[in-house]
Structure 1
Amino acid sequence: MQLAHFKVLLAFLLTMMTSLTASAEGGVLESQLRDAAESGNAERIRSLLEQGATLEARDRLGRTALLLATHRNQVEAARVLIEAGTDVNAKDSIDDSPYLYAGARGFNQILRLTLSHGADLKSTNRYGGTALIPAAERGHVDNVRTLIDAGVDVNHLNRLHWTALMEAIVLSDGGPRHVQIVEMLVQAGADVNITDKDGVTPLAHARARGYSAMVKILEDASRGKPAPTGI
């Protein structure tokens, strides 16, 4: 009798746990929607949405179907979800959103889709940075250009007290992509006199690293000479 009672109780608890998980994650259709998004199956996404799958249901890490599609740079899957009205600014448990993640990772097609569907240019990641800052750090030239053109604040300071310009210098190898990004940022109005929290300027960091091309750009800017155009 005790064994039978235990089995019944165990079955009940398992049922309750499954029910709670399904509730938190949105159910079977929503789980399938996230799987389809992650694998890039745009037609399956359309079918699931027609069946009533909820766009904004999240997994245990707070990720929507769109964020999962963005993680894998699944452009067509992201397009279907975005055009269906999913929130491009919905953040997961670590403050990533489709817009922020696409910006940081160089996924320019998805980034452009998010920008044309309500991306919040003032949204910040877990480090307090806009999408422009990690794009500049990682050398994603096209994304930097896209974000500048969209109107992201080029002088925003993250929690390290670094701007996009500072990160393009301090966290780069000084190569051609980052030189181009420094040019772009300066041309867009980046303040070359904003220091880090220790009072060190971008120019001083560039000199210390021997980044001669960046040094010239920053020296010219500090003298008021316009940055090159046609970048």
Structure 2
Amino acid sequence: MTSNRTRRRAPRIPLLAALLLGAGGTGAADLATELRLNAMVGDTETMAELLDRGAPVDAANAFGKTALMFAVEADELETVALLLTRGATVNARTVAGCTPLTFAAEGGHIGISALLIARGAHVHDRTRAGWDALMIAARHGILEMVEQLLFRGADPKAADRDGRTALMQAAERGHVALVAPLLGAGAELESRDRDGATALLIAADRGQLAMARALLEAGAEVNARDALGATALILAASQGHHELARLLLEQGANPNLQDSDGTTALMEAISTDHNALIDLLIDYRANPALEDAQGRTAADRARQLDNREAIELLARGH
């Protein structure tokens, strides 16, 4: 990213700090506040003066956020370098478990993340939600940072508190370019989150067509089921993702698999009023005579919901 330094000279803001504090004191707490404020705007000259006057380099605000974290978040590389040189803790944590490296990942600040790692940042550290820098970078689709973190030993098999890996984060957002490097580093295609979903199931639910294609080309199991027995095809049908459903069927998805309630993709399409999928599913031999756990067929569901279009499509002799 382009540094703000190319656009303006950061203002000196001791006066702002004094106004915020209500008094222009020179105690350690006041100096720490000024240090954090100047870190946000990258005023390294003032920060050096504050540190020389005794400002505690690692003093944090009420949320545990240090001057180094503010500088990272603002993409102020020179300021980050100054603070690290003056002894800032590279692996400090906020009350939410965020570290300078996770802040760098959140913002996509690749130069800063490289510097932090070179100074000893732990690539495996997690936030309170269980996210490490790799998961965050994958969620935001930052390819260069993902590659950087993998090269530095980040674990592509690690999962957050919901059981979601970096590959699953990428699948949800459709970041296709991340599939190859993550799999190349050892990410597992069939890893399951807390709901039993694989990356392909997540992509299907979100309608991420290109991602689903990439995962299938990599060997993802097309008929994998989540904890409730739903397949990628059932999830795609529930959301009306027509082209994605076609892709799954072309790749061997079984249209007659039933979830734990006995629901098929055809029943799901009818129940969610995605009637455009009916002909497609029947063309791929979806069986309208199958019954769900309550003994209802696809036609029964259509009548129950007064889905007249579905009733007519089912009655056309398929």
Is 2:171 the counterpart of 1:103?
A: yes
Query: Is the deviation greater in 195-204 or in 134-143?
Result: 195-204
**Runs of 4 or more consecutive aligned structure 1 residues displaced over 3 Å after TM superposition:** 207-213
Distance between the aligned counterparts of 2:155 and 2:114, measured in 1?
A: 17
* Paired residue type of 2:207: G
- The equivalent residue for 2:262 is 199
| Structure 2: unaligned runs, 5 residues or longer | 1-63, 65-87, 92-98, 288-318
Q: 1:28 to 1:90 in 2, by over 3 A?
A: farther
Shift of 1:209: 4.3
CA contact (8 A) 1:40 1:76 kept: no
- Map residues 44-123 of structure 1 onto 2, 5 A cutoff: 44-123=112-191
Distance between the aligned counterparts of 1:68 and 1:200, measured in 2?
A: 35
Structure in which a larger fraction of residues adopt helix: 1
* Paired residue type of 2:255: V
Deviations 1:154-194 (A, max 9, x none): 11111121000000011x1x2xxx11111110111111110
Distance between the aligned counterparts of 1:103 and 1:209, measured in 2?
A: 24
Is 2:89 the counterpart of 1:28?
A: yes
Distance between the aligned counterparts of 1:195 and 1:82, measured in 2?
A: 38
Q: 1:207 to 1:117 in 2, by over 3 A?
A: same
Shift of 1:138: 1.1
Distance between the aligned counterparts of 1:125 and 1:223, measured in 2?
A: 28
Shift of 1:115: 2.1
- Counterpart secondary structure, 2:111: helix
- The equivalent residue for 1:18 is none
Normalising by structure 1, report the TM-score. 0.76
- The equivalent residue for 1:188 is 251
Is 2:282 the counterpart of 1:219?
A: yes
Distance between the aligned counterparts of 1:127 and 1:86, measured in 2?
A: 24
Q: Which has the higher contact order (CA 8 A, sep 6+)?
A: 1
- Counterpart secondary structure, 1:54: coil
- Map residues 131-150 of structure 1 onto 2, 5 A cutoff: 131-150=199-218
Distance between the aligned counterparts of 1:223 and 1:42, measured in 2?
A: 49
Q: 1:223 to 1:60 in 2, by over 3 A?
A: closer
* Count of residue pairs the alignment pairs up: 194
Larger radius of gyration: 2
CA contact (8 A) 1:104 1:132 kept: no
Shift of 1:51: 1.8
Q: 1:154 to 1:72 in 2, by over 3 A?
A: same
Normalising by structure 2, report the TM-score. 0.57
CA contact (8 A) 1:89 1:97 kept: yes
